């Protein structure tokens, strides 16, 4: 039995859970919004006394794989509509700046031109630029998958490089730094 798949999902107060067995679709509605997810028809979803359980019909490899996957997806939906998700990105480098106008993120990342990134409307965007601190981009959403994808795309615009550590990184992310060339080794031969 999948260790993740067999764990029950407790529904917080104010969260409505619906499973349409004919369409194989789960809908979760909470104070922050509503999410939908298609479920494989073989996987069975049950709701009893505010606890959701995911069950698989057989021990086939495919069913074992889907068991844990759908349990995680449904759990992320429940967590998203009740409390939401948040990711912070930090811009490390001289002259690196971030600002936003609505859902358009403007980044100065050391290129000859500014980068404009349009953030989907499902993700709430804000930027913080305090003196003495690295500029920060804050992303919030109820959809964990979309949030992670948007954050990864922004990080991919200028990944942290291993020599000075400059670039876009997640807040708290550790970047392993390499030793650069050491001057004076060997020297010039006459």
The enclosing domain of 62 has a CATH number of 3.90.930.12
Quick one: what percent of the chain has pLDDT higher than 70?
Answer: 95
What confidence tens digit (pLDDT) does each residue in 61-94 have? 999 989 999 999 999 999 999 999 999 999 999 9
Q: How far apart are CA 59 and CA 74, in angstroms?
A: 21
Q: What confidence score (pLDDT) does residue 171 get? A: 92
Beta bridge partners of 17: 28
137 phi/psi in degrees, rounded to 5? -110, 125
Q: Are residues 68 and 105 in the same domain?
A: no
Among 64, 82, 100, the domain boundary falls at 82
Domain, as residue range, for 66:
9-82
Hey, what are 39's tokens? 């479920």
pLDDT band with cut points at 50, 70 and 90 for residue 185: low
- Continuous segment of H or E residues that includes residue 146: helix 144-156
What is the model's pTM?
A: 0.86
Q: What confidence score (pLDDT) does residue 4 get? A: 87
**Number of structural domains in the chain:** 2
Q: Are residues 95 and 164 in the same domain?
A: yes
Q: Are residues 124 and 141 in the same domain?
A: yes
In a domain, residue 98? The reply is yes
Q: Are residues 154 and 125 in the same domain?
A: yes
Among 57, 82, 107, the domain boundary falls at 82
Question: Any idea which residue has 């919030």 for tokens?
Answer: 140
Mean pLDDT confidence for 144-167: 94
Q: What confidence score (pLDDT) does residue 181 get? A: 84
Mean pLDDT confidence for 165-175: 91
pLDDT(187) > 60: no
Among 41, 60, 82, the domain boundary falls at 82
pLDDT(183) > 80: no
In a domain, residue 33? The reply is yes
Q: What confidence score (pLDDT) does residue 75 get? A: 94
pLDDT(106) > 90: yes
């Amino acid at each position: 039995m999948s260790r993740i798949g067999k764990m029950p999902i407790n529904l917080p107060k104010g969260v409505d859970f619906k499973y349409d067995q004919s369409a194989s679709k789960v809908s979760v509605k909470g104070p922050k919004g509503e999410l939908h997810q298609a479920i494989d028809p073989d996987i069975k979803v049950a709701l009893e006394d505010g606890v959701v359980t995911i069950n698989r019909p057989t021990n086939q490899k495919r069913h074992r794989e889907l068991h844990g996957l759908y349990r995680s997806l449904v759990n992320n939906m429940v967590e998203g509509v009740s409390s939401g998700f948040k990711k912070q990105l930090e811009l490390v480098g001289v002259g690196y700046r971030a600002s936003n106008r609505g859902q358009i993120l403007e980044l100065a990342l050391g290129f000859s031109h500014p980068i404009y990134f349009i953030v989907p409307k499902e993700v709430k965007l804000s930027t913080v630029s305090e003196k003495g601190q690295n500029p920060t981009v804050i992303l919030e959403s109820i959809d964990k998958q979309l949030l992670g994808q948007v954050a990864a795309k922004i990080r991919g615009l200028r990944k942290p490089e291993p020599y000075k550590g400059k670039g876009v990184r997640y807040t708290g992310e550790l970047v392993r730094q390499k030793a650069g060339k050491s001057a004076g080794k060997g020297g010039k031969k006459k």
